[in-house]
Amino acid sequence: MKAILYPVNRGFAAAMLTLMMVAATVASPAFSPQDKDKKAPQISADEQKALLKIKDAPDPAAKLQAASEYIKKYPKSPHRFEAASHVSGEITKAEPATQITLAQTYLTIFTDAKEADLINAVLVDAYLKTNKIEEGFKLGAAYVEKNPDEVGVLTQLAVTGVEQAKQRNTAYVQQSVNYGMKAIALIEADKIPETYNADARAKYKTFWLPYLYQSLGLVAYMSGNKEDARAKLDKALAINPNDPFTYVLLGSLINEEYQTLAESHKTMMSGPLKDETLKRATAKIDEIVDLYAHAIALAAGDAKYQTLHDQIMQDLTTYYKYRHNGTTEGLQALIDKYKKL
């Protein structure tokens, strides 16, 4: 009987490559100082000019200056939230580092809690994107405590915490898992805020939901909870069967199961139990081959997956040759079968 092989497990190392994050877009409230609703509070000509000065200012910094003048003159105006909405929306268009400076100035002008909420979500995102992780999680925790259904902030905190864990910073793992599960529950219950535009709402269901399952599956894997990891990765795959990284993670998880069986096989005496263990081990190899072939097919031609593709191809070739008498004949056909049309 052919001796069972023990290939080097490079799959998990490849699986730890940084995932590409894509920020979802949230629609900003429209700004209109001239409210045509007959029930709206009346506005004086001078106040209307002050609001229009904010609207017509050429950049966010100028808008903040105009807003500061407006709030000083009309501190109790029922239209100040309109001004806050407009200015916060303009701040979102700036680069993250600039957003932080602008948002901090905004918070000295618009001090009402509802006005602050308009910019705090933006500020959390900017902190995280500029690697101010501690500040982002501190403000994020306070924000989601007040806004428990804010799926965008929950998702951003969850995936950032997982990225930190992949960089060996485990300080935010538990928070990230909690935030991720809350975000998943909201998305699955279709409780995405109506303020999000249609494209953003669709992305939470088709991209962020499987991404969250994948990220939390990775955390479970890294924590040694393979049963939970498998369940979450299977969920991710069911929602989005076109992400090569999910196939790599599942293949790496099964690879560990194979390695355990292979080690047991080496120490067993000849007999039915050893034969059965070999049978189970080779079945695991077949699963790995299938999963890695999926990953290779989906990663092919995508620059961001090139390193992943090359590393996994080595393991796939080793396992395939073992199961096919040392030849790769038929391997490319298997890969081609899983390519997207």
The two three-digit tokens of residue 26, written as one number = 């949230």
- Residue 222: which of 209, 238, 233, 234 has the closest Cα? 233
pLDDT, position 42: 77
pLDDT of residue 194: 85
Burial level of 38, CB count in 10 A (0-12/13-18/19+)?
A: exposed
**What architecture is the 46-147 domain classified under in CATH?**
Alpha Horseshoe (1.25)
pLDDT at 193: 87
Burial of 128 (0-12, 13-18, 19+ CB in 10 A): buried
pTM beyond 0.95, yes or no: no
For residue 4, give the DSSP letter: P
1 Cβ neighbours under 8 A, 6+ residues apart: 278
Q: What is the 3-state secondary structure (H, E, C) of 8-25?
A: CCCHHHHHCCCCCCCCCC
State how far the Cα of 249 lies from the Cα of 214, in Å rounded to an integer.
9
Tokens representing residue 324 in the block: 């096919």
Residues 12 and 162 sit within 8 Å (Cβ to Cβ): no
Tens digit of pLDDT at every position of the chain (341 positions): 333 444 444 333 333 332 332 233 333 333 344 444 445 567 899 999 999 999 999 999 999 999 999 999 999 999 999 999 999 999 999 999 999 999 999 999 999 999 999 999 999 999 999 999 999 999 999 999 999 999 999 999 999 999 999 999 999 999 999 999 999 999 999 999 888 889 999 999 999 999 999 999 999 999 999 999 999 999 999 999 999 999 999 999 999 999 999 999 999 999 999 999 999 999 999 999 999 999 999 999 899 999 999 999 999 999 999 999 999 999 999 999 999 75
Distance CA 287, CA 326 (A): 18
Q: Rounded to 10 degrees, what is the CA torsion of 83, 89, 95, 99?
A: 50
CA-based nearest residue to 93, from 125, 50, 115: 125
Domain segments of the chain as ranges: 46-147, 148-240, 242-337
Q: Which DSSP category does 305 fall into?
A: G
For residue 33, the tally of other CB atoms under 10 A from its CB is: 18
**pLDDT value of residue 176:** 97
Query: With contact defined as beta carbons under 8 Å apart, do 54 and 63 qualify?
Result: yes
Tokens found for residue 57: 């200012």
The total number of residues shown for the chain amounts to 341
C-alpha to C-alpha distance for 105 and 168, rounded to whole angstroms: 34
Q: Assess contact for 176 and 160: CB atoms under 8 A.
A: yes
Q: How confident is the model at residue 39, as a pLDDT? A: 56
Structure tokens at 176: 């990230």
